[in-house]
Amino acid sequence: MNKCLPKNLIRWMGMLFCPMLVTLSVFAQQTITGKVTNLTDDTALPGVTVAVKGTTNGTTTDANGHYSIKVNDPNATLVFSFVGFTSEETPINNRTIINMALAPDIQSLGEVVVTALGIEKDKKALVYSVSEAKGSEFTQARENNVANALTGKIAGVNATGLSTGPGGSSRVVIRGNGSLTGNSQPLYVINGMPMDNSVPGGSSTPNGLGTRNGVDRGDGIAAINPDDIESISVLKGGAAAALYGSRGANGVILITTKKGRAQKGIGVEYNGTYTMENVSVFPDFQYEYGQGDGGVMPTTLAQAQATGRRSFGAKIDGSTSYVAADGKTHPYVAQKDNLKNFYQTGTTFTNTIALAGGNESVVYRLSLADLDSKSVLPTNTYNRKTANASLSGKLSSKLRFEAVAQYNLEKGTNRPIAGDALGNPNWMPYEVANTVDVRWLKPGHDENGNEILWNDAGIVTNGYFFINKFKETDTKNRFIGQASISYDLLKNLTVKGNITRDFYNYSFTSIIPTGTQYVPNGQYDGIKSTVSETNSMVTANYHTTVKEKFGISALVGGNILVRKSDDYNYTGERFIIPYFYSYANLGTSSAVPYAGNMRTNSVFGSLDLDYKSILFLTATGRQDWFSTLSPANNSVFYPSIGTSFVLSDVVKMPSVVDLLKLRASWAQVGGGGPD
């Protein structure tokens, strides 16, 4: 027998059957494609996880909701899952195209709002008043200071800004002033942790506005870029803000910033806004009588300077001439466009670009923004550059983390002095006599650089002299960093640690120049300030349901606040060498240092009970210990209790009534120790 025959037979059989095996293998693996959409509005869902059940084989949908996946078993099952939507499973059944519509998870997307300490609660479970506005509402009619945009968006909130140009402070009052003599400003909280809204170098006004010798230097909330805001909630009343202790005495404004989202690839978002503004207040001046006094028009330079703000002269008939404060002869006619001639069109150009992405485990977002604003007052400018980064995700099924970092660089130039007439350029265009064209008073100074007198009071600065000769610059570098980690100890028990670092350094210089009518030798004012605030907080949160009727949620925690500030205030007057503006060139000067340190230790807790989601009871308490008070009396307790009853879930209501709730609350809040 030929011993080679079996080998040849095997080789022949292999050549015959191997292509068949390869062919069978190719036909066994097939590609499934499709599109995943939102069931409610049929929009594409990017970042949906599509996996073969029981395997590690999976993919995600692209920006248009499309996916493609290879499977080996035509009878396998595909699983579609996405955050905020109910998961769906479907057998392949030899199909090659499978489209899927996912329904929103009603339980996870219920009508909830962010409350104290960043806790989300069902709206109908609240025993106090909370109002919420989405971030998109603050990017339409955009304000340089986002706090100014709160008026008209949230009931009971009144926000006003000083008329001092871009980058100015905002005064926000919730349900009226909380103090007749102290600060009535609310506490601002970002992502559950308080932020510093102080004015660099301190404030001379009782309401906490950012003025120093009349110059508005801006506040902390002005650093927040509206394009980075997801939502803003306002806690009204003591019961809502009691968990924040003394700092929440005037209410709390909670800001939640945007996070990344799970998706395939990197999402790019760009927002650009260009706004223009002009002076809007035009007083109803009289134009029957012109410049002068006692029915007489000025005929000399001295008379023109003495009556520069008076319009009690002769009747305006246009047939005569007079001498104005520029020393020249002009027709005695009405000048009705002084406000338009003095001010310019203000502009603000804002650009924000954001990159976002991630998967089911980690999401991220990075944004860069630039705001460049020119005031209606020439030479008054403000620029703010912002970088914001957030990263959050799961380290395991029980361990989660979140980190947010923001850096700001703010620069202001020639912020005007508000209130008093010295250094306030706005007095002249509104007070100049009605037959004077304000442009006659340009450039505001003579050939030697000294201010041109235009009225009877030297303290009322020539507006053009301010624009061309006064010097004010300020720069603020600010960093806000947050990091938190949470762990599920038990099914219903979560512990969380959070730390925030809020730091800025600030430099300010204001020069009243040589040659000013009221201060001939000039003045110098400067600030160098460094402020830091560190908040460390640990909380434990427990919730459970008893017999599907009673809901119980409990929170306990502790917080340590450490605030440090180092300020140097430089003041002086009388520049020895005229027109040379240096602190070393002052005839008299002083440098006053200030160092402040404050620590507040706190413990707090809350208990929420509900019965069948109809009857709710909430009780909170917080104890603060202040390092700035005497040891014998350095602590304050802030309690609150409230209840609500959802009547519309018990009694049938007319179709026009969606929710009818009765609520009552009591709280004890108030200020704490000084900084």
Considering just the CA atoms, what is the radius of gyration of the chain in Å?
Answer: 34
Write down which residue in 67, 84, 102 finishes a domain.
102
Among the listed residues 238, 252, 250, the one whose alpha carbon sits nearest the alpha carbon of residue 621: 238
Sign of CA dihedral 597, 671, 602, 156: negative
Buried b (16+ CB within 10 A) or exposed e, 479-498: ebbbebebeeeeeeebbbeb
What average pLDDT does the segment 503-525 reach? 94
Residue pLDDT, tens place only, 529-587: 999 999 999 999 999 988 878 899 999 999 999 999 999 999 999 999 999 999 999 99
Contact 480, 364 (CB under 8 A): no
* 98 and 32 together in one domain: yes
Contact 273, 348 (CB under 8 A): yes
Mean pLDDT of the chain: 85
- Measured in residues, the chain has a length of 675
Instruction: Quickly state the pLDDT bin for 201 (edges 50, 70, 90).
Output: low
Residue 202, pLDDT above cutoff 50: yes
> Token digits for 48?
């949906």
Three-state DSSP class for 486? Answer: strand
Tell me the C-alpha distance between 163 and 158, whole Å: 16
Contact 209, 162 (CB under 8 A): yes
Contact 288, 316 (CB under 8 A): yes
List Cα–Cα distances, 159 to 115, 150, 153, 177, 237, in angstroms.
Answer: 21, 6, 10, 12, 17
Q: Specify if 110 maps to a domain.
A: no
* 93 and 135 together in one domain: no
Instruction: Quickly state the pLDDT bin for 108 (edges 50, 70, 90).
Output: very low
Q: Which residue has the tokens 């306002």?
A: 234
Instruction: Quickly state the pLDDT bin for 21 (edges 50, 70, 90).
Output: very low
Instruction: Quickly state the pLDDT bin for 181 (edges 50, 70, 90).
Output: very low
* 486 and 573 together in one domain: yes
> Token digits for 129?
């008043």
Q: Specify if 560 maps to a domain.
A: yes
List Cα–Cα distances, 21 to 14, 183, 469, 651, in angstroms.
Answer: 10, 83, 90, 71
Residue pLDDT, tens place only, 64-82: 889 999 998 888 999 998 8
Q: Specify if 284 maps to a domain.
A: no
* 139 and 37 together in one domain: no
> Token digits for 41?
């509005």
CATH number at residue 462: 2.40.170
Question: How far from chain centre, in Å, is Cα 395?
Answer: 30
Residue pLDDT, tens place only, 203-221: 433 333 333 456 777 888 8
Q: What is the pLDDT at residue 601?
A: 93
CATH number at residue 85: 2.60.40.1120
Residue pLDDT, tens place only, 333-348: 999 999 999 999 999 9
* pLDDT, greater one: 329 or 138: 329
CB neighbours (10 Å) of residue 258?
18
Number of independent structural domains in the chain: 2
Q: Specify if 5 maps to a domain.
A: no
Amino acid residing at 574 = R
* 376 and 412 together in one domain: yes
- Name the DSSP class of 199: P
Q: Specify if 498 maps to a domain.
A: yes
Q: Provide φ and ψ at 110, rounded to 5°.
A: -65, 170
Instruction: State yes or no: cis peptide before 443, omega within 30 of 0.
Output: yes
User: Which three-class secondary structure string do you get for 87-106?
Assistant: CEEEECCCCCECCEEECECC
Three-state DSSP class for 45? Answer: coil
Residue 15, pLDDT above cutoff 60: no
Three-state DSSP class for 661? Answer: strand
Residue pLDDT, tens place only, 36-51: 998 888 888 888 889 9
What average pLDDT does the segment 315-324 reach? 92
* 176 and 40 together in one domain: no
Among the listed residues 512, 503, 283, 538, the one whose alpha carbon sits nearest the alpha carbon of residue 414: 512
* 97 and 137 together in one domain: no
What residue numbers bound the domain in which 32 lies? Answer: 26-102
Residue pLDDT, tens place only, 232-255: 888 887 777 788 887 888 888 888
* pLDDT, greater one: 142 or 145: 145
Q: Specify if 553 maps to a domain.
A: yes
Among the listed residues 475, 535, 527, the one whose alpha carbon sits nearest the alpha carbon of residue 504: 475
Contact 117, 190 (CB under 8 A): no
CB neighbours (10 Å) of residue 264?
20
Tell me the C-alpha distance between 506 and 219, whole Å: 12
* 519 and 606 together in one domain: yes
Mention every residue, 6+ apart, whose C-beta is less than 8 A from residue 283. Answer: 430
Q: What is the pLDDT at residue 162?
A: 66
What average pLDDT does the segment 628-640 reach? 83
Q: What is the pLDDT at residue 205?
A: 37
Q: Specify if 92 maps to a domain.
A: yes
Among the listed residues 231, 232, 227, the one whose alpha carbon sits nearest the alpha carbon of residue 157: 232
Sign of CA dihedral 311, 317, 321, 326: positive
* 41 and 95 together in one domain: yes
- E strands, 521-585, are 523-546, 550-575
Residue pLDDT, tens place only, 144-168: 788 877 877 777 788 777 667 787 8
List Cα–Cα distances, 655 to 134, 650, 652, in angstroms.
Answer: 27, 15, 9
List Cα–Cα distances, 252 to 47, 84, 109, 113, 362, in angstroms.
Answer: 35, 28, 24, 14, 30
* 136 and 93 together in one domain: no
List, as own/partner pairs, every contact residues 577-581 make where C-beta atoms lie below 8 angstroms and the sequence separation is at least 24, other chains included.
578/514, 578/515, 578/521, 579/449, 579/513, 579/514, 579/515, 581/471, 581/511, 581/513, 581/522, 581/524
Tell me the C-alpha distance between 453 and 306, whole Å: 9
What average pLDDT does the segment 28-33 reach? 83
Among the listed residues 501, 411, 404, 568, the one whose alpha carbon sits nearest the alpha carbon of residue 196: 501
Q: Provide, rounded to the nearest whole percent, the portion of the chain with pLDDT above 90.
A: 51
Contact 235, 117 (CB under 8 A): no
What average pLDDT does the segment 410-434 reach? 89
* 401 and 527 together in one domain: yes
Q: Provide, rounded to the nearest whole percent, the portion of the chain with pLDDT above 70.
A: 90
Instruction: Quickly state the pLDDT bin for 183 (edges 50, 70, 90).
Output: low
Q: Which residue has the tokens 């007079």?
A: 322
Residue 13, pLDDT above cutoff 50: no
Query: What would you measure as the largest C-alpha separation in the chain, in angstroms?
Result: 145
Residue 2, pLDDT above cutoff 50: no
Instruction: Quickly state the pLDDT bin for 405 (edges 50, 70, 90).
Output: very high
Instruction: Quickly state the pLDDT bin for 304 (edges 50, 70, 90).
Output: very high
User: Which three-class secondary structure string do you get for 224-250?
Assistant: CCHHHEEEEEEEECHHHHHHHHHHHCC
Mean pLDDT check: name the lowest of 178-187, 220-229, 622-631, 651-660: 178-187
Q: Specify if 299 maps to a domain.
A: no
* 504 and 418 together in one domain: yes
Q: Which residue has the tokens 């003394």?
A: 246
Write down which residue in 63, 84, 102 finishes a domain.
102
What average pLDDT does the segment 88-106 reach? 88
Q: What is the pLDDT at residue 117?
A: 75
Contact 501, 480 (CB under 8 A): yes
